[in-house]
Structure 1
Amino acid sequence: MKYKWKRVLAVVFLFIIVAGWYVTVCGIGPVKPIQDRMKLGLDIKGGVYVVMEAKTDLKGEELQKAMEQTQAVIEERVNQMGLAEPVVTIEGDKRIRVELPGAEDAQEAIEQIGKTAQLQFALADGTIVLDGGSVKDASVTTDQDSAGYAVALEFDSKGADAFYEATVKAYSGAVQSSVEGVNNDAIMILLDNQIISAPSVNKGPISGGKCTITGNFSQEEASNLTALIKGGALPLTLEEVNSSVQSAKIGYNALEMSVYAGLIGLALILILMIVAYRGLGVAADLALLLYVIIVLNIMAWMGSVLTLPGIAGLILSVGMAVDANVIIFARIREEISAGKTVRVATQEGFKRAMATVIDSQVTTLIAAVILYEIGTSSVKGFAWTFMIGIVVGIFTAVVVTQLYVGIMADSTKLGKRSMFGINKTGQASFHIKRELHFIRYRKIFYLISVAILALGLVFGIARGMNYGIDFTGGTMIQMDMGKTVKTADVEKAIKEYKLDPEIIYSGEGNKEIVIRTIKSLDSDQRAKVISTINENFGTTDDDVVAEELFGPSVGKELRNNAFLAVLIAGICMLVYIRFRFRQWRFGGAALLGVLHDVLIVIAFYAIFNITINNPFIAGILTVVGYSINDTIVVFDRIRENLRLKRSMQLDLLIDQSIAQTLGRSLMTSATTLIVMVPMLIMSGPAIREFVVPLMVGIIAGAYSSIAMCSPLYYEFSKRKKVSKYEKQVQAATKKSKKKAKKQLEETKALPEAEIGKPADDTADLTAKNAPKDADTAAAAAAEQESTPADPAKSGADALQPKQKNTMDQKRSKRYVKGNQKK
């Protein structure tokens, strides 16, 4: 692109950035400000909760299993309806609480998820042929016979057989319709005994377990029908018990403070980039400002719900966006320091940085996609925000940053070396001059990690993990206070019972309170708490709306899915790393590093007795995403140096690679932490409880990439299979040692008179050095035949014996010459 058109495009982007921020913050015309367009989760904004009770005679383990299945189906159904980030909780034995963020009408919410919501397929005469449990998948497709849309269904093997038999009966005309308006050849789809669709079998019996429902649907109509079908059938019939509008757990004020804190953090990042990278920092700041407004508006446009895990994904994606720029800038400054002109260095820097940027971003994108597909609830919220951030971050770094940096490089005034952060000595600012030895001290790093993990294990076993209400369940008391009271006053009133409660508002006008505690209180204990509240606030036992035990919101299903998602994401990342880096050793070291970071965060929770609630899952996911990205950047430099510096010892090569990327690792970690520090200081306790583990995860990720993953790769490389060349060298060395040993024995067997001759001094000395000379000769002969292809073979383990034998040989010759002169 010509320089003139680059300048025009740069002005266009600048206008988009300024106008975009104005529209995003203030709104214009039909476009509302982002605060009015963004959907907030129940933990931030509040919403509706619905309590439903199962009508069943099941007991014990069968009931528990059925309730867990029902919990999972409801969660899926609410997601399909567009009410993302639900909290579905099993309360007591037969009740389920559904919390719907952003919803305002309890009755409308009940109608959306269905009171019983049982999906069934029936013939026109009302005969039930199969239920929704046999539906394997439902999706929107195009109608091949018209310009509209259709719904594609797929059944499992059992459902396919039942559906085929039903279509045979319907198509043969053997069924007489008993429902007005339904054809004899129709298959009715019922939800709560209400017909949601009644397509006719008009082209013959349907086999194979797949069919398509047509009917000139609009896209919205097809999507709604798909959502209703895909929600599946509930294993149990549910009946509404209670419902209410609930206020936020964290509170809108805390969100506002978090927003202000985030803006302060963003401003600090912009300043830091300019200080560290001068003109390059300005280009990165423009790209970052565009990145923020694109991500926020995409989330608002797609109806994404912002929750705490979503905030975690947003924070991490900001760090990733900065990271892509930092990688590019480091490359450009290396090229300038190597003596290239600014223009050439810019072109080469972008070219050489692209592989690293793509590898690091794609690896984390793979993890995010897997987490979104397999994870549930809060896991999806994190993954979705993270995916949007990664894609937008690549665009802004590759397109926007490259545009502005290219203009700077082509400009006479802006293309000076000082504008690119290069000082008069030719070195980049913040350049690390000291030679660092990470591999030499790797055992110290191992000991530090082992000590932290061991300490965490001791605290975890001795004191136990501090599981919060989301993991343990507990007791719930809901009361109508008749007016809005301060939650702090309620907490003070029941302080003597040491419940450590979670108190939230509920009901119209926030006149009700809900007290939840992890302690399981029996009826007498609950009565005492209620009595104390009555004495302090003038309420009576008639004002008790509900009191019951409830199960964990982070149920077994959610935990299993989160673990499975992380496991599959790890496998996929391992395969990608193997494909890109051509060695399993890189992938194995990277995944061990991720495992190390996860365990470090868990140990942190155990040591400092931090409550493990929903934010814990977001913290672990942040560690997985950040750690692998940081590690890939270091490994990419090791891979490049292995190709360019084959003769360098492996330990020195790895040390050099870490040193070359150390500035980038520290800068990325600093920018990510900078966003969190203001939130830690300014936000409320709920946000603070959420941010601290994330900060620990970021620090652990940076540490492991430098001090754990690279040393582990070194360990794996040392223990790889011995090559054919090395076997030949070892055989030649062994043979020469045997020969030298035999000569030494023959020399010792000579008469003492002959040994005392002057010439024998030389012979004896030569015999003593014969093994070493033989080693050197054999190794040199073998080395002439072939050259090692793997740099690891020419590392410390391969070169040191050769150097040692050569030095011994030289010393022997000098000693012999000295004796001859004497």
Structure 2
Amino acid sequence: MNKKRLVVFLVSVIAIIGIVGVSAKPAIDNMNLGLDLKGGFEILYEVSPLEGSETKKVDMAAVASSVSKRVNVLGVSEPDITVEGDRIRVQLAGVQDNEQARNVISSSAVLSFRDTSDNLLMDATVLKDGGASLAFNEGKPIVNLKIADTAKFYEVTSALSQTSDKLMVTWLDYQEGQRYAEEATKAETEEGPAYISAAKVSEGLNSETVMISGNFTEEEAQELVDLLNSGSLNFQMKEIYSNVVSPNLGEGSFESTMLAGGIGIVAIAILLIALYRFCGFISALSVAIYLVSTLALYTLLGGVFTLSGIAALVLGVGMAVDSSVITFERIKDSLYAGRSVKNAFKEGSHNSLSTILDSQITTMIAALILYIFGTGSVKGFATMLLISTILAVVFNVTLVRFLLGQVVKSGYLDNKKSWFGIKEDYIPNVQRGETYEDHSPWKNFDFVGKAKYFIAISAAVMVLGIGSMGFNGMKGDGVFNFGIDFSSGTKITLESKGGLKADTLQKEFEKLGVEPSDITLSGKNNEIASVSIKKAITEEQREQISDYMTDTYKEIEVSDSTVSPIVGRELVKNAIIMSLLSWLAILIYVSIRFKWDFAVSGIVALIHDVFVILAVFAITRMEVTTDVIAVLLTIIGYSINDSIVIFDRMRENLKGFTRKQPSQEQLRDIVNVSLRETFGRSVVTASTTILPVIALLVFGSRNIFQFNVALLVGLVGGCVSSLFIAPQLWYVLRLKFKVKNKPKKKQKKLKGPQERIIPGVND
């Protein structure tokens, strides 16, 4: 026995436990939380040149710079400003006053001086850049402006002093159609005039500094100073989407999601140890350090953690485990074939590598397309999925195999085959000429013959879904219950310590002339309500609702989000484009690695999985949001993961037929045997991915309930399609088109029996 390898193993395990123990809390504490976990404000603008401008294209880098200066006025730490073509997305986690943020960011900050007939006297070109400052006059806050062109300022004010009213009106972002005469009547009202001030000019002003005195509070005066110093915008920004998340709602979502994720991961660890004993323990260790590493790397790259991003992380755990399970099952196959522990480890590691890479690369392809073409939370979800997938492969190929290899090569496990989760009584005695006898409950199951029943169930779900889509469309309710992300509209969030009731809120909104399409309550005492309205309400309605709710309820907070129809249409279009690109990329990859009939079978299975999710949402009328689209695209990458593993075994079982086409019976046996050999693994990997999703459904935030339902339906549908649709379709295609096999590659010979006996094929 090589004790040095055992020492290396023990030291490595202690080091991993130490690293995880020391790094876990800092990794969690340093997570850069997104809006849905921290609370805050998100707004998307469409940027275009100013009317009458000769410039046809806006410099978006300059836009981002200008917006960044505006955000600094708000004092928000770590803002996220992203350019998306001719749009700019601003995410301000932790911002307290979303209305202030909206006004500060979008305000053009163009100062102009006009007479009472609204004729332009001077614009901001007479002022010094960055020359605004806060001052006080008789205890009242004022704004001082430094004059750049004192001669022009003197000339204009001298002429104005000769007029009858002698008034110079100062406007910020004057709009065509605004009138001084109309606004002056509001001076004594609570609303106040749209102009900043109207000062009497008795003589020409030849000073380098002028004073603007309005009915300012100190905060309003300082905000005006900051706005003017940040510079005016030489472009216009149209708001097409906004989203507000209450800090309390975000905090509760984060806690519940982390709890659910932790429960799911512990459940995975228990399952792995129960099934694979010592190997399961090593896999659980790798999952722990994988999680810490993923959190640290994502934070280092400046990633923002969202609810769907954390769900992608939990999904990544399933993929990390999937890679380990493929290796462990291959080792078990070799042990049952009579190999020694060392040869079984070597053979299992070798045979599983290409399968792992093929299955994970398809997920990476889908994640990469999501990242390139996605925006907002979809892009964040894709980033996390991409990092998770890469690290899942790295930790399986390196850490798990290194740790297991040290113990195997030490010789400690030579007579402990049960430590791999197998029953030693089932291992054949090679010296006596015994071969392995399958003891699994599905050893005689005819997958090809019974597939029609599972296909019938899937077909029934899809037919019911298509029927529901048609019925919903005929009723005028829409084929799907699209959230405001797609259909456009407004979402209002109400938060009251006294608790809220959906039916009462419904009546109160109807009194205000607004008809909610959905009201969702959350929180321990239903203190938070999310009200969806399938149309974008006006600013006046928004203020009316806020005033009414503030008067009706004690200590209530009201925030709102809006989406324009443009954004909804583009989300649908982008989802279709991303789906088609993912299918095409996977089709090409699988055709290169396998054969076209494998690729077509896999794509049909993927389309099935997507349609099953859509059918369930059409039948249940659950809300379809952007996160649900992210799930559809994730399933495209993840679902074929399982199909690839089965395809790999089918390809292996086909290697004996390089010059002739197998008969129909032989092809049927190849499919059945391949499925019997991989069925247990498929169930285990599906379980390790479904477990955390179930935990997220039961214990996680209600804000991503639809997301988790879609993920669960997709994973179950993906498992079914991998076992009962893709292989059977391949069987039909191979029979019809007589596809030739790829040449058999030479394999490294190992000690022990080499031939795999496939009943009906090798007989």
TM-score greater than 0.5 by the shorter chain = yes
Given candidates 639, 642, 649, the residue that maps to 1:627 is: 639
- Give the TM-score taking structure 2 as reference length: 0.66
Distance 1:270 1:359 in 2: 25
Equivalent residue, structure 1, for 2:593: 580
| Alignment coverage as a number of residue pairs | 579
Equivalent residue, structure 1, for 2:329: 330
Distance 1:22 1:385 in 2: 23
2:470 aligned with 1:471, yes or no?
Answer: no
Equivalent residue, structure 2, for 1:44: 37
1:363–1:629: 8 Å Cα contact kept in structure 2? Answer: yes
Q: After the TM superposition, which residues 100-139 of structure 1 pair with which residues of structure 2 at under 5 Å, given as runs?
A: 100-101=92-93
Equivalent residue, structure 2, for 1:655: 672
Equivalent residue, structure 1, for 2:496: 485
Q: After the TM superposition, which residues 558-577 of structure 1 pair with which residues of structure 2 at under 5 Å, given as runs?
A: 558-577=571-590
Equivalent residue, structure 1, for 2:426: 426
Distance 1:522 1:37 in 2: 39
Secondary structure at the aligned position of 2:424 is classed as: coil
Deviation, structure 1 residue 14 = 2.0
Deviation, structure 1 residue 303 = 1.6
Matching residue's letter, 2:605: G
Distance 1:241 1:576 in 2: 38
Query: CA-to-partner distance for each residue in 1:736-756, whole Å, 9 max, x for gaps?
Result: xxxxxxxxxxxxxxxxxxxxx
Query: CA-to-partner distance for each residue in 1:335-383, whole Å, 9 max, x for gaps?
Result: 1111111111111111111111111112222222222122222221122
2:551 aligned with 1:551, yes or no?
Answer: no
Q: After the TM superposition, which residues 441-452 of structure 1 pair with which residues of structure 2 at under 5 Å, given as runs?
A: 441-452=450-461
Secondary structure at the aligned position of 1:339 is classed as: coil
Distance 2:399 2:707 in 1: 33
Matching residue's letter, 1:660: E
Distance 1:391 1:343 in 2: 28
2:671–2:727: 8 Å Cα contact kept in structure 1? Answer: yes
Matching residue's letter, 1:713: W
Matching residue's letter, 1:308: L
1:312–1:618: 8 Å Cα contact kept in structure 2? Answer: no
Deviation, structure 1 residue 518 = 2.1
Q: After the TM superposition, which residues 64-83 of structure 1 pair with which residues of structure 2 at under 5 Å, given as runs?
A: none
Cα separation, partners in 2 of 1:442 and 1:48, compared to 1, 3 Å = closer
2:50–2:234: 8 Å Cα contact kept in structure 1? Answer: no
Equivalent residue, structure 1, for 2:607: 595
1:477–1:516: 8 Å Cα contact kept in structure 2? Answer: yes
Deviation, structure 1 residue 435 = 1.5
Cα separation, partners in 2 of 1:11 and 1:637, compared to 1, 3 Å = same
2:693 aligned with 1:693, yes or no?
Answer: no
Cα separation, partners in 2 of 1:68 and 1:309, compared to 1, 3 Å = farther
Matching residue's letter, 1:666: V
Cα separation, partners in 2 of 1:89 and 1:485, compared to 1, 3 Å = farther
Deviation, structure 1 residue 420 = 1.2
Q: After the TM superposition, which residues 280-679 of structure 1 pair with which residues of structure 2 at under 5 Å, given as runs?
A: 280-415=279-414, 416-426=416-426, 431-463=440-472, 464-475=479-490, 485-486=496-497, 488-489=499-500, 493-496=504-507, 497=510, 499-500=516-517, 516-519=532-535, 533=549, 536-537=552-553, 550-551=563-564, 555-581=568-594, 583-644=595-656, 649-679=666-696
Deviation, structure 1 residue 418 = 1.0
Deviation, structure 1 residue 468 = 1.4
Query: CA-to-partner distance for each residue in 1:252-275, whole Å, 9 max, x for gaps?
Result: 122112211211111111111111
Equivalent residue, structure 2, for 1:197: none
Cα separation, partners in 2 of 1:395 and 1:338, compared to 1, 3 Å = same
Greater mean alpha carbon deviation, residues 428-437 or residues 653-662: 428-437
Secondary structure at the aligned position of 2:425 is classed as: coil
Deviation, structure 1 residue 666 = 0.3
Matching residue's letter, 1:616: V
Q: Which has the higher contact order (CA 8 A, sep 6+)?
A: 2
Deviation, structure 1 residue 9 = 4.2
Secondary structure at the aligned position of 1:238 is classed as: strand
Matching residue's letter, 2:735: K
Distance 1:67 1:107 in 2: 29
Cα separation, partners in 2 of 1:280 and 1:519, compared to 1, 3 Å = same
Equivalent residue, structure 1, for 2:214: none
Distance 1:524 1:502 in 2: 22
Deviation, structure 1 residue 662 = 0.7
Cα separation, partners in 2 of 1:457 and 1:248, compared to 1, 3 Å = farther
2:726 aligned with 1:709, yes or no?
Answer: yes
Matching residue's letter, 2:592: F
Distance 1:257 1:240 in 2: 32
1:315–1:675: 8 Å Cα contact kept in structure 2? Answer: yes
2:272–2:283: 8 Å Cα contact kept in structure 1? Answer: yes
Distance 2:348 2:371 in 1: 34
Deviation, structure 1 residue 699 = 0.4
Deviation, structure 1 residue 386 = 1.1
* Alignment gaps of 5+ in structure 1: 27-32, 60-65, 118-233, 506-510, 724-793, 804-822
Distance 1:495 1:109 in 2: 29
1:442–1:708: 8 Å Cα contact kept in structure 2? Answer: yes
Cα separation, partners in 2 of 1:537 and 1:418, compared to 1, 3 Å = closer
Equivalent residue, structure 2, for 1:126: none
Matching residue's letter, 2:649: R
Cα separation, partners in 2 of 1:528 and 1:274, compared to 1, 3 Å = same
* Alignment gaps of 5+ in structure 2: 72-77, 110-232, 428-435, 473-478, 741-757
Cα separation, partners in 2 of 1:4 and 1:560, compared to 1, 3 Å = farther
1:41–1:102: 8 Å Cα contact kept in structure 2? Answer: no
Deviation, structure 1 residue 698 = 0.6
Cα separation, partners in 2 of 1:531 and 1:368, compared to 1, 3 Å = closer
Deviation, structure 1 residue 694 = 0.7
Distance 1:607 1:717 in 2: 35
2:28 aligned with 1:35, yes or no?
Answer: yes
Deviation, structure 1 residue 42 = 1.1
1:680–1:688: 8 Å Cα contact kept in structure 2? Answer: yes
Cα separation, partners in 2 of 1:554 and 1:616, compared to 1, 3 Å = farther
Deviation, structure 1 residue 16 = 3.6
Cα separation, partners in 2 of 1:465 and 1:558, compared to 1, 3 Å = closer
Cα separation, partners in 2 of 1:47 and 1:664, compared to 1, 3 Å = same
Secondary structure at the aligned position of 1:269 is classed as: helix
Matching residue's letter, 1:625: G
Matching residue's letter, 1:20: I
Distance 1:488 1:387 in 2: 41
Distance 1:671 1:722 in 2: 35
Query: CA-to-partner distance for each residue in 1:98-117, whole Å, 9 max, x for gaps?
Result: 54446679899889988679
Equivalent residue, structure 2, for 1:731: none
Q: After the TM superposition, which residues 167-206 of structure 1 pair with which residues of structure 2 at under 5 Å, given as runs?
A: none
Distance 2:346 2:708 in 1: 39
Distance 1:69 1:531 in 2: 40
Query: CA-to-partner distance for each residue in 1:530-562, whole Å, 9 max, x for gaps?
Result: 6753652389xxx99999975259533333233
Secondary structure at the aligned position of 1:306 is classed as: coil
Percent same amino acid among aligned pairs? 33
- Give the TM-score taking structure 1 as reference length: 0.62
Distance 2:601 2:516 in 1: 45
Cα separation, partners in 2 of 1:110 and 1:685, compared to 1, 3 Å = closer
